[in-house]
Amino acid sequence: MERIFGILPKPTGEALLALWEEFELAETGEARFAHAVDRAMPVLLNLNNRGGSWKEHGISHARVMERVGPEIEAGCPALWHFLEEKLEEARGNGFFGEEPPQAPIL
């Protein structure tokens, strides 16, 4: 990242690198909110296209909830509440794929 931000004028590059590092650490409220929005975007896109890539790649409702739920809820509880309802509706409408069965552990 330093190489990319190093292309910019020094003050701008340093400021943007600091923001990027803040985002990556997710220690501030703003960074957690940014993570929530970042995680929500693919969910919103899949809700809009009737689960397109979820069905295509066999992504289950449980997997989506597990993958995005904690970060969205931590960064923006109201957004998670909204998405939780929409994801439940989407499950009822068949927007999710079925994950292949796991091989038994021997």
pLDDT at 92: 96
Helix (H, G, I), strand (E, B) or coil at 29: helix
- Which candidate, 2, 24, 21, 23, places its Cα nearest to that of 13? 2
Q: What CA–CA distance (Å, rounded) separates 16 from 78?
A: 28
- Put simply, whether the predicted model's pTM sits higher than 0.85 gets the answer no
Point out the residues of the chain with pLDDT beneath 50. none
pLDDT at 1: 78
pLDDT at 106: 66
Q: What CA–CA distance (Å, rounded) separates 63 from 49?
A: 18
Neighbours of 16 (CB within 10 A): 14
pLDDT at 3: 86
pLDDT at 43: 98
